[in-house]
Amino acid sequence: MDPRLHTDNAFRAKQSIMLVVDRDQEGTRLDIFLASHVQDLSRSRAQQLIKDKSVHVNRAPSKVGYKLKEGDSVLVEIPPPQPQKGMEPEQVPFDVIYEDDSLLVINKPPGVVVHPAPGHPRGTLVHGLLHYCKDLAGIGGELRPGIVHRLDKDTSGLMVVAKSERAFRGLAKQFKAGAVSKEYHALVHGIPRAICGAIDVPIGRHRKKRKEMAVDLQRGRYAITDWKKLAEFLRVFSLLAVRIKTGRTHQIRVHLSYVGHPVVGDPVYGYGKNWWKGRRFPPHGVVLPPVDRQMLHARALGFTHPITKEELTFEVEYPEDMKSFLGRLEYLEKA
């Protein structure tokens, strides 16, 4: 039986795979051999299966570091993926833009947390994906979606999610190599003097506020953000198209704040809700409604399909609150 003939469809029964070691593979560690010969099996997962005595060499349990010999027979028994403990599927709002057996691309609305965390044990995107996806093949032996990148709770827009180990590893490799194209649109305070630019300063954990990030020239990690001005409004706001070449936590929000153009509505790195009180804007002294979340939207996403190798690109419109606010600014700009 050739394990490479397996597809990305979900398996609900235990898999039994028999392999025979040939001369070229003699001396290879057992875990490395399994990871290279069994599709959708990572090396860490192979090690766990060996420790669980689900791998037999010549009909006997073996060890992770066993060096294989020519003619060894290796039996691998892979149990079906198990549900994550404490993770009950829930109906959570999001739009599916694209889906196949390996992955799906979604449009996340603002206000939805991606992963369970302190203060958000339920109602996350992961809970919603468990409810929506009926064909998850499992990641690392668990019946869960493969989250390869995240958006902040109040950032809206495109995300790609893996359904299988193979798709997860393929996508993760692309993100790590910077091969994924991501464009965000951000409404920011102020009018940048240039039409476009790049912000190239390192980002690290804030030294006093441990839940926040900050520019840290000594200990921060490399981060670069490219931006282009799309529009100006009322001599007070600008709409920027932003592309990130790295994916540090809160990178766009931290970088734009650092150069004096924080994202409108950002409660952490921006001016906060009190900034709007009593403030009037030209041309007619209008008062704009306050914004209760950062106006940041993951507008476009492009990557290579990890299984078919097809180049995929997606684009989504702004969510209703951002669309409405921008529409109001455009109307006043023309007034």
Which segments within the chain are labelled E, that is strand?
Answer: 15-20, 55-57, 60-61, 73-78, 82-83, 95-99, 103-108, 142-143, 146-147, 156-162, 181-189, 196-200, 203-205, 213-215, 224-233, 237-244, 296-304, 311-315
Tell me which of 8, 31, 40, 152 is the catalytic residue: 152
CA 92 → CA 97, 114, 138, 142, 149, distances in Å?
A: 15, 11, 20, 21, 18
Contacts of 18 (CB under 8 A, 6+ apart): 1, 73, 74, 75, 76
The upper half-sphere exposure of residue 318, i.e. CA atoms within 13 Å in the direction of its Cβ, equals 17
Residue 31 is a catalytic residue:
no
Known catalytic residues are 152
